[in-house]
Amino acid sequence: MTITTHQLTHWKQQGRMIVALTAWDFAIAQILDQAGVDLILVGDSLAMVALGHQTTLPVTLDEMLHHARAVRRGVQRALLVCDLPFLSYQENSQQAMHSAGRALKEAGMQAVKLEGGHPAVVETVAQLVQAGIPVMGHVGLTPQSVHRLGYRQQGNSPEAGERILQQAIALEQAGAFSIVLEHIPSDLACQITQKLSIPTIGIGAGPHCDGQVLVTADLLGLSNRQPPFAKVYTNLRETIAQAVQMYGTEVREGKFPEM
């Protein structure tokens, strides 16, 4: 069974939590898919966790599609969503259509994600949806706006919270199939989740969303530093370093390969 956007809405109605994670290559994508992750996001966080950039801003659409194609080859079940990177959709709806179209046509993605909820983005979402391209929204902390907003929690005054709620409503009305709520207070995420009929996927937004997403490199302990809301489930940096040291020792001591 391949998961569809409609399945996610059905799960929201049933109260069945949606499990989402990011992937950037074939191996990670295949492991996540076989472990039962429902939605795999080729997030532009790959700029930081796979390409070593300081922010998500430098990654290009071509680079995103290169990774997305590798992820596509590893996935059979999960819904595949690709982030449109910084300045690949903000100029106008035509630019967004071209970029989103490439993600579907050239990389086999099933949907795209756009950051922000101001009127220009909402208009773009409406046009993409009308063209048959499923769109995921993303409000609250939007890393592509780091130089304007920083990595601070968003929506923690009544006015700012109301603004994010209205953005989420506008994105739903524009036809988004789901919305990522990043680093906002838990009670605001709860309010948005109750108000919308499309599923909310939280990251640093508390337990009351319809699903959760993490950057997989954070969960695996592969990142140098994690955001405060991430949970590190294992320390792969340490595991890999130990394996590499054992290999180095065995090669130097003539123990590998065996005679």
Contacting residues toward ligand KIV, per CB under 6 A: 22, 41, 43-45, 83, 180, 203, 213, 215
Among residues 53 and 252, whose Cβ is nearest to ligand KIV?
Answer: 53
**What crossing angle do the helices spanning 93-107 and 119-130 adopt, rounded to 10°?**
50
Least separation, in Å, of the C-beta of 180 and ligand KIV? 5
Question: Beta strand 111-113 with 79-83: parallel, antiparallel or unpaired?
Answer: parallel
Least separation, in Å, of the C-beta of 41 and ligand KIV? 6
How far does CA 44 lie from the centroid of its chain?
A: 7
Least separation, in Å, of the C-beta of 223 and ligand KIV? 11
Annotated catalytic residue 123? no
Among residues 72 and 157, whose Cβ is nearest to ligand KIV?
Answer: 72
- From the CB of residue 136, how many other CB atoms can be counted at a distance below 10 Å? 27
Distance, CA of 241 to CA of 233 (rounded, Å): 17
Tokens (6 digits) for 197: 């009929």
- From the CB of residue 197, how many other CB atoms can be counted at a distance below 10 Å? 8
Catalytic residue, candidates 182, 238, 253, 258: 182
Among residues 26 and 151, whose Cβ is nearest to ligand KIV?
Answer: 151
Contact call for residues 61 and 85 (beta carbons, < 8 A)? yes
Among residues 14 and 54, whose Cβ is nearest to ligand KIV?
Answer: 54
Distance, CA of 74 to CA of 199 (rounded, Å): 25
For Cα atoms 19, 161, 83, give the angle at the middle one, nearest 5 degrees: 40
Residues counted in the chain = 259
Least separation, in Å, of the C-beta of 141 and ligand KIV? 9
Instruction: Please identify which residue in the block is written with the tokens 């809301």.
Output: 229
Among residues 225 and 252, whose Cβ is nearest to ligand KIV?
Answer: 225
- From the CB of residue 186, how many other CB atoms can be counted at a distance below 10 Å? 15
Least separation, in Å, of the C-beta of 215 and ligand KIV? 5
Peptide bond into 257 cis (omega under 30): yes
Residue, CB closest to ligand KIV: 43
Q: Which residues are catalytic?
A: 182
